[in-house]
Amino acid sequence: MANPRDNMNARLPASLSDREFQRFSAFIYDHAGIKMPPAKKTMLEARLQKRLKANSIGSFEEYSDYVFSQDGRATELIHLIDVVTTNKTDFFREPGHFDFMVKTALPNILAARVPSRDPVRIWSAGCSTGEEPYTMAIVLSEFAVGRPDFRAAITASDICTQVLQTARTGIYPEERTDPIPLNLKKKYLMRSREKSKSLVRICPQLRSMVSFRRINFMDDDLGLTEKMDIIFCRNVVIYFDKPTQQTLMRKFYKQLKPGGYLFIGHSETLSGLDVDFKAVASTVYRK
């Protein structure tokens, strides 16, 4: 006769052993640069449960074997990274940065460059669901008023494929757009025809300014052929250790044009890193 406890145990969520946690955390650090200390074991376990369920796998040991198999590396690793990345963002987050970009960075960049039809190139590095690059597009469109020769191109990247899918659509719950000033909402947002859904969409003019792509900061070649005038990488490197931060900042320095600007989050600093950036404002640096 079957023991009822066996059925009960079969329904219990899988438990992540210390050995498997170490294996996953080492991979996540090597592949994505994200620190996963022991204090985050419970968080990792909860997030990976989703992948066990999606793959109909009953244990973390079995999932680990699958992830690191040839088939798993081809199909599952990207989903593993998706569930462990943190994606918090807002429209007009840390608004002082956008003020500095309009009042200082852009005038300096335009004054120093030889007149050309080349656009000002801006990279939103770690763009999450798209609020940051679309905020840039709003700000740049307003800056362009009265400047018929001004053009801008925004590259927006993230390591997480799920958030990039959301970003590409440009569709958001209406309450997500609360930080956008009312006059700009009227100008750049389109309401859903289905009033009950309370959704808005970024207008085609802004969507056409942004090119989304998946970029892993840990890759030796980031795949960007154009040098940037401005890079925003805010509230991302706090998840990296110092050596990883330094490696990434050197990549950003190389990717910027001379005189280009780097914006980082207000809780972040380049202090203690061996990089050549010059601080020009709070959490704003220049090459």
CATH code of residue 9: 1.10.155.10
226/138 same-domain check: yes
Q: Which of 281, 87, 92, 72 is nearest to 185 (CA)?
A: 92
Which H or E run includes 5?
A: helix 4-11
% of residues, the chain, pLDDT over 90:
47
153/225 same-domain check: yes
Predicted confidence (pLDDT) per residue in 38-88, tens digit: 888 888 888 888 888 888 888 888 888 888 888 777 778 777 777 777 666
Q: Which one is predicted more confidently, 8 or 235? A: 235
Whether 24 shows a pLDDT value over 80: the answer reads: yes
Does 153 reside within a domain? yes
63/152 same-domain check: no
139/102 same-domain check: yes
275, 237 in Cβ contact below 8 A? no
198/266 same-domain check: yes
Active-site residue list: 47, 158
Which residue, 49, 84, 119, sits at the end of a domain?
84
275/190 same-domain check: yes
Q: What is the mean pLDDT of residues 189-208?
A: 87
191/254 same-domain check: yes
Which residue, 54, 84, 114, sits at the end of a domain?
84
134/78 same-domain check: no
235/117 same-domain check: yes
100/208 same-domain check: yes
Domain count, the chain: 2
Predicted confidence (pLDDT) per residue in 142-163, tens digit: 999 988 889 999 999 998 888 8
Q: pTM, whole model, 2 decimals?
A: 0.75
Q: Which of 272, 275, 273, 158 is nearest to 210 (CA)?
A: 158
Q: Which of 190, 174, 163 is nearest to 79 (CA)?
A: 163
Which residue, 84, 118, 152, sits at the end of a domain?
84
The SS3 assignment for 280 reads strand
Does 62 reside within a domain? yes
Does 214 reside within a domain? yes
Q: Which one is predicted more confidently, 1 or 34? A: 34
Whether 184 shows a pLDDT value over 90: the answer reads: yes
Does 135 reside within a domain? yes
CATH code of residue 162: 3.40.50.150
Q: Which one is predicted more confidently, 256 or 48? A: 256
Does 90 reside within a domain? no
80/146 same-domain check: no
Does 91 reside within a domain? no
Residue 177 has which token pair?
A: 């757009």
Neighbours of 108 (CB within 10 A): 16
| Domain region containing 164 | 96-286
Does 194 reside within a domain? yes
Does 161 reside within a domain? yes
Whether 5 shows a pLDDT value over 80: the answer reads: no
144/244 same-domain check: yes
In the chain, where do the E strands start and end? 120-125, 152-158, 171-173, 189-191, 199-202, 210-214, 228-233, 256-264, 278-281, 284-286
